Amino acid sequence: MKNGRKNGHRNGKVRVAIVGAGNCASSFVQGVQYYRDASPKDFVPGLMHVSLGGYHVSDIEFVAAFDIDKNKVGKDLSEAIFTTPNNTVKFSDVPKLGVKVERGMTHDGIGKYVADLVEKAPGPTSDVVGILKKSQADVLVSYLPVGSEEATKWYVEQALQAGVAFVNCIPVFIAREPYWQQRFAEKNLPIIGDDIKSQVGATIIHRVLTRLFRERGVKLERTYQLNFGG
């Protein structure tokens, strides 16, 4: 957090802005609602930590969201996450959040498999930096489609200008690059990524299988995974 410690923030919350109100964002928003009353003393399936660094799941507060889909822009985030073409499982009701989905930057941020399903919202790109500042966001979480390299870099720049942390949830080299590490370090901002594994998704299954092959004496010359599974 840009304020360093929980008691450094005015209300002890982690104020989150989201880029891309798609299926992953839907699961994230639903998950915060679903686990908000979880006890830190209990084992909770699906969570590694109910409380981390003094923050409980319920301390996550959504304050801004950006997308380019005509069906989502202008809607409350709680409604946008259940809007077509999203089709993730609904496992929790989400009350109105008072967060309007703003028009984001497109660049290469439309996945090729949904390009025919998504109609871009009309109008110019919203003032992302201004919105991040006005909403007092602590962190910008990017759920852009895999392969959105230019769009990711654009949003990274917005985060730097706004003075917020950045979580890159797709495999575009940002957090591991010395260039970006240095720029965020200079502003005393966290940057996390690259890519986020789901609980039992394709990435972790692929990793476990490759380890199994090695332990059983199989020599792997090359390997790849599809971007779905689990």
User: 6-196 is classed in which CATH architecture?
Assistant: 3-Layer(aba) Sandwich (3.40)
Tens-digit pLDDT profile for residues 15-57:
999 999 999 999 999 999 999 999 998 888 888 899 999 999 9
At residue 101 the predicted structure's pLDDT band, cuts being 50, 70 and 90, is very high
Does pTM surpass 0.95? Answer: no
Sign of the torsion angle spanned by Cα atoms 177, 164, 20, 195? positive
Sign of the torsion angle spanned by Cα atoms 149, 23, 137, 134? positive
Tens-digit pLDDT profile for residues 106-156:
987 676 777 778 899 999 999 999 999 999 999 999 999 888 999 999 999
Domain boundaries, the chain: 6-196, 199-230
Choose between 88 and 116: higher pLDDT. Answer: 88
144: which residues sit within 8 A by CB, 6+ positions away? Answer: 19, 20, 109, 151, 152, 155, 169, 170
